[in-house]
Each structure stands twice: as C-alpha cells, then as structure tokens.
Chains A and B, each alone.
Chain A
Amino acid sequence: MTNYITSYCHILSDECWVNGKKIALQDSDDDITKQLYNYLEMDYPKFFKMDRLSKTAFLGAELIKNNNLALLNYKDDEVGLLFSNPISSAETDLNFLKSYQNGGMPSPALFVYTLPNILLGEIAIRNKWYGESVFTVSENFDAAYFLSYCNMLLNKCQEAVLCGWIKNNETFLFLVEKEDVNQLNLQLSLEQLNKIYLKKIK
C-alpha cells in the first residue's frame, strides 16, 4: 500500500517552514515558540506551562493541523502519534534537579515534564487524538524507523500518523496519510523522507 506525506514542517531556532514555505513571523526578540504561539493566535494558557520540548511538538502539530483540516474528520482513535528525539527529556530533568538543589523546593510543574512522552499527551489532549502513540529515543533522525513503523500503523489500525523528530532548534514534523489529500506528491519512502528532513536542517 502506498502512503503519503501530506504536510511537514521544520521549526528551527529562529524560523519556521511549513511544506517548504517560510512562515512570515513578525520581528521580535521573543523565543520562536512564543512567536509561533502569537502567529497562530492561540488562546491556550496551558501552553506556557509546557517545557520547550512539548511546546515545539505542540506548535508543530498545530501548524500541520492548520494545513490539513481534514484531520478533524478522523475518529479519535484513527490518528496515531510517532515521535522520537536524541536526548529524551534531559533538559527538563536537569532543570528539575536544579529546582531542589541547594535546599530549594522540587518543582511539581517541572517534574510533570521529566518524561518525553508527555508531549504526546499534550498533543492528544488538545486534538483528541487517542490512537497509537509511541516515543522513542534515537541518536539521529532515523528515516527507516519512521518509514517502517508508520507503514505498520497505517496498515493495521490508523488512518493518519503524525510523526515528529523533536530536538531543540531542529524540530521536524510530518503527517502521513493513505491518500495524497494535499497533492504534495510526496510518496512515503526512505529517500523522500530524508530529502524533506534535510531540506531545512543544516
């Protein structure tokens, strides 16, 4: 069966691209996550409580959803989430450690994010996507892993799979569906996946 990449986005340290087109953000000294939050005109206070890992994944999902409104037509359990990164939640783990070193109080809000798969929960709650969800740790972006796992999910139980490589200053999300709904003509393959991943990641 042929599956298709129907949307993809790159979130870098100071710019964002969706389907190869640069998002026009206003000039600002704000962090890219805050800039994108404003660009998307979101009203979701919980966003500000998330760690950076969750924020970038969450924003990527929003950007892709905005380009694939048909996603909203799938049943709750028909959209899967397949994410990966190289350092798990290490950055937040260290921040949590700092919160109680030297006699400080451990921060419950930081503790919540000391697991990387929490970002899957943030996306699932926001969108009511309750299909299969997987988070793995991998040293580098592994196109072969995404390809085989994604095809397996689509062949067995999902109509769409949102995939993400979530790394600070190098976030890449892509949506895979059974039909080429956006007519990007991007058949899911190892070659295609590596090509669009590398398009904006130096």
Chain B
Amino acid sequence: MDNIKLQLKQQIIEQLNLESVSVSDIADDMPLFGEGLGLDSIDALELIVLMEGNYNIKLLNPEEGKSVFQSINTMADYIAKHKK
C-alpha cells in the first residue's frame, strides 16, 4: 500500500505539473482539493485520466469521485480494491 501511495504522489506531481510540490509535501491524509493541495476542477479531470491510464480504473460516477479523491489514502484504498 505504501508503494501505491508513493507512486500516486509522483504521478500526481507529474501529471498535474505541480512543479513547486515534492512528494514529501503531500501527506497521506491531506485534502487534495481546497485548502490542502489546492487542486481545482480541471485537476479532478486529470485525476480521472490518471486513474484510467495508470490503473485501468474508470470512474464514471462524479459522486464517487468526491470520496475517492479526498486524499492519497482514499485514492490508494480505491486503487487497491479496484485495480484490474
């Protein structure tokens, strides 16, 4: 699980061009949106692309995305359960 979390942080930084952010800046339970990492709605779409491209997981329900993308912890949990 720790490997997935580390990998996710690296992928998020790369895919979202978070040049001023390093892996160590992203705590596992830090909110990804709002006052946490400060991602926006376009970033949410990029996270959907990231999930599909890297883990073959399709998120079709927007409501589901809200809970999945809360933090690295919630993303890693979802990937562990749904990775094909």
Footprint of B on A, CB under 8 Å? 43, 45, 48-49, 104-109, 112
Known contacts A105-B49, A107-B49, A45 near B18 by CB under 8 Å: yes
**In contact, A48 and B49 (Cβ under 8 angstroms):** no
Q: Which residues on the A side are within 8 Å of B43 (C-beta)?
A: 109
Choose among B18, B46, B52 the residue that contacts A108 (Cβ–Cβ < 8 A).
Answer: B46
Tell me, yes or no, whether B1 is within 8 Å of chain A by CB: no
Footprint of A on B, CB under 8 Å? 16-21, 38, 42-43, 45-46, 49, 52-53
**In contact, A109 and B46 (Cβ under 8 angstroms):** yes
Q: Which residues on the B side are within 8 Å of A107 (C-beta)?
A: 46, 49
Chain B: which residue is nearest A104 at the CB level? B53
**Chain A-chain B contacts (Cβ-Cβ < 8 Å), number:** 31
Q: Which residues on the A side are within 8 Å of B53 (C-beta)?
A: 104-105
Q: Which residues on the B side are within 8 Å of A49 (C-beta)?
A: 16-17, 42
Chain B: which residue is nearest A106 at the CB level? B49
Extra inter-chain contacts (19) besides given A49-B16, A108-B42, A109-B43, CB under 8 Å: A43-B20, A45-B18, A45-B19, A45-B21, A48-B17, A49-B17, A49-B42, A104-B53, A105-B49, A105-B52, A105-B53, A106-B49, A107-B49, A108-B45, A108-B46, A108-B49, A109-B17, A109-B42, A109-B45
Q: How far is the CB of A169 from chain B (nearest CB, A)?
A: 21
Q: Which residues on the A side are within 8 Å of B49 (C-beta)?
A: 105-108
Chain A: which residue is nearest B20 at the CB level? A45
**In contact, B20 and A48 (Cβ under 8 angstroms):** yes
**In contact, B18 and A48 (Cβ under 8 angstroms):** yes
Could you list 8 examples of A-B contacts with CB < 8 Å? A45-B18, A45-B21, A48-B17, A48-B19, A48-B20, A105-B53, A109-B45, A109-B46
**In contact, A112 and B42 (Cβ under 8 angstroms):** yes
Q: Which residues on the B side are within 8 Å of A112 (C-beta)?
A: 42
**In contact, B16 and A109 (Cβ under 8 angstroms):** yes
Q: How far is the CB of B9 from chain A (nearest CB, A)?
A: 16
A45 to B21, CA, bound (A): 9
Q: Which residues on the B side are within 8 Å of A45 (C-beta)?
A: 18-21, 38
Q: How far is the CB of A195 from chain B (nearest CB, A)?
A: 37
Chain B: which residue is nearest A105 at the CB level? B49
A109 to B43, CA, bound (A): 7
Chain B: which residue is nearest A45 at the CB level? B20
Q: Which residues on the A side are within 8 Å of B19 (C-beta)?
A: 45, 48
A43 to B46, CA, bound (A): 22
4 tightest A-B CB contacts, nearest first: A108-B45, A48-B19, A105-B49, A48-B17
